[in-house]
Structure 1
């Protein structure tokens, strides 16, 4: 979700918590927000509300707001709990932004290392080796032997570049295919949930978002089946989303909620255990609140561990890149100089 939605949500929470009427809050929000995009969509929403349109319907007309966001606001309108709803949404969106920042920080260093490695190999191959070849030919008579060795260097560098660009191309194709093809997206997301280490992190993030949505929906006494149908929209992994859809179908056919989740082997045992408890005591809101708190702590712990482990790992990667460059280019060049 974009930063302008977070700013809008935080501002509306502050204004509505100050007991301002909705229309007044929107009018003040439009003046307070500094970004052009925020001002424009807030003005459009205010205009529609002044014309008699429901606030949630005005939000749904703006493509920025996902279905769950609109649904929660609609519930807040009907129950008179808009300040609380915006408070929950603001806290959740702020947490998501913090997580994204931590992930970007963890990935920034390896991205720089990879970019540096590509740049070094490219410069050596395109600019340095051709000049070395000319220099060696000018100062030695054994040009045929020198050309052979430089040709080997070029071949090695081209192989290195092909490997690097090949990896990047495969990654780009996977991302593009996932976005454009539903079946491919399902296959890729299923593979992600099978990769060691990555699967635990991915599932924790998915359960964090899902349990947040279910927590808010069940707290407002929204029907469980409808809550599940709305909550699945926050899931970014298509495989997990399909599993929730399957759970909804099973419940609609008369199967127990706990059993429906248990039959979908993809869900963690912690989730299914608490859902079974909720089914027995009828406290779904309390159960999903507990689940959300658990996955909130788990996600923060995982991100902290990844960030702390990233530095030594990427120092090793940097060292490996330097050694590879020395072995591939520097040592052979010195060998050529020794052959003169």
Structure 2
């Protein structure tokens, strides 16, 4: 019943809606704009005729307020993962795709995702392929997902491809969870230390400053510095500092929105000690794992490289992958342009080169992914064990230093008495 209601809604939207799109030119530059088209497929054809490849498309809502888009619900990765695994089981069991989608739409707890599945089911019932139907939801099903599903449809192994997708998504989510978990403790601890320090400086130090002033005592340099910091934080001039910080953050975000700005910032990230090494290992593992998963499912190498470029997560690596794709397009092996980029370790490019020569590149890519996943896990464990004592020492120095600076004058006076 829900699907029929959804179907009516989709047909109403097809009446020449406006689409906001993000597309890439042949040189890799991004372009944004709005076009009116009958469907996303027509929009893709229109942009293709202009030499553009679609990255994302969204229907431009008419008369929608800003609050609606601000509080729009998103589909969780975990929901998509469960959907993919369950759909693979149903298709493998011989259940028709349309019936499987209806069942999954009823089972999902997310209303937003249920509506999306209903729209997909309606599109499939209307004659679209499953891959074309899910392509209409780029925020839920990225291009990697769509391409692999399309390959599975062409080969008649949709269920196997869905299992591969679910495994890939699960591994990626697990790695992201581990990295996020390792970073959560130090970030929270540092935030607590800063809040405690600010609380002491703003509320406690002024009271001690008054006592010291009444005693007319000569203060140690550390105590005087602490009182000066407190006076600055409580003075009206601090608003200028705060405004400057906010302006700096806004300017940095605006700079990061430009292609050159984000590229330069991504380059800086890769040079940060320890964390840069971690990001580089994650990027190499993601590249090899995604490329291996795509090629195993039957996606052509050039198309797979285009997808991997968009999922690299770092523009420095995106550029290296784009240049590698250009090299492959011009008849080179994949390993050579990757080696020239300087972003991939020698071991990686040589293993890929051996894989190309022996016809076992997919196996080599998975081996590289396994190696770098283990490297990332080991580095995250080392970071966790290293950061815990560092955070504790930092807390002791900051909080202990403030307390010692406050009580030094009192101890000096008591010793004189």
TM-score of the aligned structures, taking structure 1 as reference length: 0.85
**Shift >6 Å, 4+ stretches:** 148-151, 158-162, 168-171, 336-340
Deviations 1:145-182 (Å, cap 9, x if unpaired)?
A: 78x998643323467999x989x979956872464121
Which structure is higher in RCO with an 8 Å CA cutoff and minimum separation 6? 1
* More deviation, 69-78/108-117: 108-117
Q: Counterparts in 2 of 1:36-51, with a 5 A limit? A: 36-51=111-126
What's 1:119 paired with?
Answer: 195
What's 1:34 paired with?
Answer: 109
CA distance change for structure 1 residues 128 and 199 in 2, over 3 Å: closer, same or farther? closer
Aligned length: 334
Aligned residues of 1:157 and 1:328 also touching (Cα < 8 A): no
Structure 2 unaligned residues grouped into runs of 5+? 1-75
Deviation at 1:240, TM superposition (A): 0.4
Please point out which of 46, 65, 69 is paired with 2:141: 65
Deviation at 1:47, TM superposition (A): 1.7
Deviation at 1:292, TM superposition (A): 2.2
Deviations 1:184-207 (Å, cap 9, x if unpaired)?
A: 110011122223322321111112
What's 1:104 paired with?
Answer: 180
Aligned residues of 1:218 and 1:284 also touching (Cα < 8 A): no
Q: Which has the higher strand share?
A: 2
Q: Which has the higher helix share?
A: 1
What's 2:19 paired with?
Answer: none
Deviations 1:273-300 (Å, cap 9, x if unpaired)?
A: 1111122122222222222222232223
What's 2:228 paired with?
Answer: 155
Aligned residues of 2:182 and 2:383 also touching (Cα < 8 A): yes
Q: 2:222 and 2:371 mapped to 1: Cα distance?
A: 60
Structure 1 unaligned residues grouped into runs of 5+? none
CA distance change for structure 1 residues 301 and 129 in 2, over 3 Å: closer, same or farther? closer
DSSP-derived class of the 2:128 partner? coil
What's 2:403 paired with?
Answer: 326
Deviation at 1:111, TM superposition (A): 2.0
Q: 2:368 and 2:248 mapped to 1: Cα distance?
A: 33
DSSP-derived class of the 2:167 partner? helix
1:80 aligned to 2:156? Answer: yes
Two-structure CA RMSD over aligned residues (Å) = 3.3
Q: 1:158 and 1:54 mapped to 2: Cα distance?
A: 68
TM-score of the aligned structures, taking structure 2 as reference length: 0.70
